[in-house]
Amino acid sequence: MQKHTKIYLEFFDYFGDEYVPCEMCNAKAVDIHHIVARGMGGSEKDNIDNLMALCRLCHVKYGDKKRYLDMLKHRHKLKVNRKNK
């Protein structure tokens, strides 16, 4: 398991093959996406604030596209804040 995937699953208390919902559409997530990739100027690559679960369709549609960056950050921040309450 990749380091960033492990960080995400542990933070949100997911275990093994448990269903992880896409943060955009609630379909089954298959990717843990780096919201701001290093190639886009990101520096905290494997920080939970920069990791988001996405299904394949949403990853292709929204991932690594600057025009969706603020939306992705906002959606993910809501999920992180719910977990921290």
**40-55: pLDDT as tens digits:** 665 667 899 999 999 9
pLDDT digits (tens, 9 = 90+) for 5-20: 999 999 999 987 889 9
Supply the pLDDT for residue 6: 94
pTM exceeds 0.85 for this model: yes
pLDDT digits (tens, 9 = 90+) for 24-79: 999 999 999 999 986 666 566 789 999 999 999 999 999 889 999 999 999 999 99
Please tell me the distance from the alpha carbon of residue 45 to that of residue 42, in angstroms, as a whole number.
6
User: What is the SS3 assignment for 9?
Assistant: helix
Which residues, in sequence order, are CB contacts of 50 under 8 Å at separation 6+? Answer: 34, 35, 36, 42, 44
What are the residue ranges spanned by the domains of the chain? 3-84
Please tell me the distance from the alpha carbon of residue 85 to that of residue 1, in angstroms, as a whole number.
28
Which residues, in sequence order, are CB contacts of 11 under 8 Å at separation 6+? Answer: 48, 83
Supply the pLDDT for residue 46: 86
